[in-house]
Structure 1
Amino acid sequence: MDDRPGYYEFFAGGGMARAGLGDGWRCLFANDFDRKKAESYRANWGGEELHVGDVREISAAQLPGRADLVWASFPCQDLSLAGAGAGLKGERSGTFWPFWDLMKALRKESRAPSLIVLENVCGALTSHGGKDFERICEALAKERYRFGALVIDAALFVPQSRPRLFIVAAREDVAVASALTRKNANAPFHTRALVAAHERLPQTLRANWLWWNVPAPPLRNTTLFDVIEDVPTGVEWRSVEETNALIAMMSDVNLAKIAEAKRAGRKMVGTLYRRTRYHSGEKIQRAEARFDDMAGCLRTPAGGSSRQYVLVVDKGRVRSRLMSARETARLMGLPEDYLLPATYSDAYHLTGDGVVVSVVRHIAASLLEPLLKTCVVWEAA
């Protein structure tokens, strides 16, 4: 008999939550509507538990057994600061509601999961003046969950700036050990934005709130230099003319970063995004660089401007190229043997739309697994 805790993984993508949870857990069911991502999921995990299709068309009868955990990294586009602001009413982020209908159906069948984790962009805290966050909390409370949230920047684990919101909910009958909560917010995972979102909640919802006590991880020992390849696979170094064209798109502030990197006297590795900015009321393309040993947040590539560049400054020479698919996988904490899609665009889309593996592992080890141990003891008593 397999006594490992079981979970359902919704909006599973390439299975990065599964990678983070690890072999100590067993996947009972996984779902994603994107067939290309599903191919990667099958290549790495097999397809036995995977259902490819719209979450709106899944019924509770298709969910086997009773999950200890449900993980849902639901779409962020309508909640993102870069989106159109539709929030939970949007076509993509609004898929939270059919997902939640499944959770309600499980409750009616006495199969409500002990724990639920909802992952999204930090914009979910402020979308529609905080009303979308309130509606999520209200949905959890109505199904008799206590909940709290963490804002975790993946930069603590990998050299990528990627803050994300994790709402962690425990069913009302799960006994929560006192060591797993605090009376008040605390750094580094309870940010000002999260505290403000909590304060905006009605008192009835704050009564269900838990300030989760999750320790900070050890200092990261992986640098951007460790991630970047001298001889990349699948991408080519740009010509001198193409690199100069990128540099010509820089503001004085970013040109100063290039000059400082040249003065460093050693090989410097940085990253660059092309962004649209306003200047004198007109839209212009800007190239924005960073040399702080950190990559920018990976994004799903809707166009060339969404793809991140690598900059290498060595002996006064500047070289540039697109970041390789394997480099993006490393920035997401994926192992070297993780099988990526064959095409660059598909691989970048997979990694840019995922959850960082090492962040999932930290949440699991520090909070989810201790909660389930308490839950098992409590239910057996």
Structure 2
Amino acid sequence: MPEVYEFFAGGGMVRAGLGDAWRCVFANDIDPKKAETYRANWGDGAELHVGDIHGIEVARLPGVADLMWGSFPCQDLSLAGAGAGLAGQRSGAFHGFWRLVDGLIGEGRAPRIVAVENVCGTLTSRGGADFGVICRAFVDSGYRVGALVINADLFVPQSRPRLFVIGVREDADWRMADAGGPEAPFHTPALVRAVAGLPQSLRERMAWWRVAPPSDPVAPLVELIEEVREPALWHSQARTKAILDLMAPSHLEQVRAALAKPQRTVGAVYRRTRPDGRGGRIQRAEVRFDGRAGCLRTPAGGSSRQVLMVVEQQRVRTRLMTPRETARLMGLGDDFVLPRSATDAYHVTGDGVAVPVVRHLARALFEPLLKARLRLKAA
């Protein structure tokens, strides 16, 4: 059974995606509240270490990992951040993660596959320099490296594009997974541009990982929402009107079209700041009725929490998404134990990686690579 180290583990969503075919032998997160969720779902085992990654010693990591995963913090790399990139205090945790990779290599215990996940802003952070730093770390440590941009909306009704940088030890049979050139949909134009902007010495060591897209249909958002009957959980008519008043004409027209339909229509609403056409900025509420939600975020402020708009029987109602709805949008089953506090639950789901994306990577890339390595070793 392949073994995994799960760093920046949150509630253990990578572990959930890998499934019972994998064994997690070490997990880490700095947040005690997320650690409580991890234990509630995966038991109070010795594999979970709560603390800053910079304080972890290599000796704490057992054996040789088949996969070492790190979904390091995104705040300094995201479009909403201050642009500090990997030099920032939070996203700079990547360096603490890679210190452990190099420490394991120094002990002859190199992880066979290393994967890091973050926002797509990583590709352009500091003019592409941060993407180059990540790729250089893989190459200098003896990994063939490639990147994929996968949007969770191929698996769940949530638009959540994320960058996955995946390295395989050079002594493995990585060529069987290399497409030889970019392929849609996971090698996006933005990724191709970012790779083209790397120094030639890095470009020559990059792989284009071959991962087929999923074929199963995605359930629409309406199938994931809960039947919320408590009046207190719904917005007042005045608050719903305030949301509608923030909408541009094109979005109001979508609401009118939904009102004209005989069936219930469910949309997701985000508040955003847009140009006002006069050189300033204005807050807008934007709705989408395409069966998908926007990208879940952590509840740093009221505007970061997605609002559901339910249109039926000539009536428009709005409310915040429930914690369980956000968990479903991340591909978690209803048996996944969420924190009692809604805010804590939003932190767990909004900071996580979509479970079915991990599952797809495991089946389409990680497990075939590990099997090929065993065949190569046997030969």
Range into which the TM-score falls when normalised by the shorter chain: over 0.9
Q: Normalising by structure 1, what TM-score?
A: 0.96
Using the TM superposition, name which of 189-198 and 199-208 deviates more.
Answer: 199-208
Deviations 1:158-210 (A, max 9, x none): 000000001111011111253x2212101010000000011111111112111
Overall identity of the aligned pairs, in %: 58
Of 359, 363, 367, the residue aligned with 2:361 is: 363
Of 330, 333, 336, the residue aligned with 1:332 is: 330
Matched residue SS, 1:150: strand
1:256-267 counterparts in 2 under 5 A?
256-267=253-264
Matched letter for residue 264 of structure 2:
K
Instruction: State the Cα distance separating 1:235 from its structure 2 match.
Output: 7.1
Matched residue SS, 1:93: coil
Structure-2 residue corresponding to 1:7: 4
Structure-1 residue corresponding to 2:166: 168
Deviations 1:306-333 (A, max 9, x none): 0000001112210000000000000000
Structure-1 residue corresponding to 2:27: 30
d(CA) in 2 for partners of 1:235, 1:15: 32
Of 282, 285, 288, the residue aligned with 2:286 is: 288
d(CA) in 2 for partners of 1:304, 1:370: 43
Instruction: State the Cα distance separating 1:84 from its structure 2 match.
Output: 0.8
1:67-106 counterparts in 2 under 5 A?
67-106=65-104
d(CA) in 2 for partners of 1:91, 1:253: 40
Matched letter for residue 34 of structure 2:
K
Structure-2 residue corresponding to 1:124: 122
Instruction: State the Cα distance separating 1:234 from its structure 2 match.
Output: 11
Structure-2 residue corresponding to 1:193: 190
d(CA) in 2 for partners of 1:355, 1:195: 23
d(CA) in 2 for partners of 1:237, 1:220: 30
Matched letter for residue 29 of structure 1:
F
Matched residue SS, 1:295: coil
d(CA) in 2 for partners of 1:184, 1:318: 48
Matched letter for residue 50 of structure 1:
L
Unmatched runs of 5 consecutive residues or more in structure 1? none
Deviations 1:116-149 (A, max 9, x none): 0110001111111111000111111110100111
Deviations 1:323-378 (A, max 9, x none): 00000000000011000000110001110010000000000000000000111222
d(CA) in 1 for partners of 2:349, 2:313: 32
Structure-2 residue corresponding to 1:61: 59
Matched residue SS, 2:26: strand
Check the 8 A contact 1:158/1:220 in 2, yes or no: no
d(CA) in 1 for partners of 2:232, 2:314: 23
d(CA) in 2 for partners of 1:93, 1:308: 24
Matched letter for residue 30 of structure 2:
F
Matched residue SS, 2:174: coil
Matched letter for residue 39 of structure 1:
E
Q: Normalising by structure 2, what TM-score?
A: 0.97
Whether 2:174 is the aligned partner of 1:213: answer: no
Check the 8 A contact 2:157/2:218 in 1, yes or no: no
d(CA) in 1 for partners of 2:81, 2:142: 32
Using the TM superposition, name which of 269-278 and 137-146 deviates more.
Answer: 269-278
Whether 2:137 is the aligned partner of 1:139: answer: yes
Of 319, 322, 338, the residue aligned with 1:321 is: 319
Matched residue SS, 2:269: strand
CA 1:120 to 1:235, structure 2 compared with 1: closer, same or farther past 3 Å? farther
d(CA) in 1 for partners of 2:222, 2:236: 22
d(CA) in 2 for partners of 1:380, 1:65: 21
Instruction: State the Cα distance separating 1:278 from its structure 2 match.
Output: 3.8
d(CA) in 1 for partners of 2:232, 2:367: 40
d(CA) in 1 for partners of 2:259, 2:356: 33
Of 181, 196, 199, the residue aligned with 1:184 is: 181
Matched residue SS, 2:273: strand
Question: Once superposed, what is the RMSD of the aligned Cα atoms?
Answer: 1.4
Instruction: State the Cα distance separating 1:92 from its structure 2 match.
Output: 0.5
Check the 8 A contact 1:234/1:325 in 2, yes or no: no
d(CA) in 2 for partners of 1:46, 1:232: 33
Unmatched runs of 5 consecutive residues or more in structure 2? none
Whether 2:37 is the aligned partner of 1:44: answer: no
Matched letter for residue 37 of structure 1:
K
Instruction: State the Cα distance separating 1:254 from its structure 2 match.
Output: 1.3
Structure-1 residue corresponding to 2:302: 304
d(CA) in 2 for partners of 1:329, 1:120: 19
Check the 8 A contact 1:160/1:296 in 2, yes or no: yes
Matched letter for residue 11 of structure 2:
G
1:343-362 counterparts in 2 under 5 A?
343-362=341-360
Check the 8 A contact 2:309/2:316 in 1, yes or no: yes
d(CA) in 1 for partners of 2:216, 2:107: 44
Matched letter for residue 203 of structure 1:
Q
Deviations 1:94-132 (A, max 9, x none): 010011111111111000100001100011111111110
Structure-2 residue corresponding to 1:252: 249
d(CA) in 1 for partners of 2:203, 2:271: 41
d(CA) in 2 for partners of 1:5, 1:235: 48
Matched letter for residue 274 of structure 1:
R
Using the TM superposition, name which of 156-165 and 212-221 deviates more.
Answer: 212-221
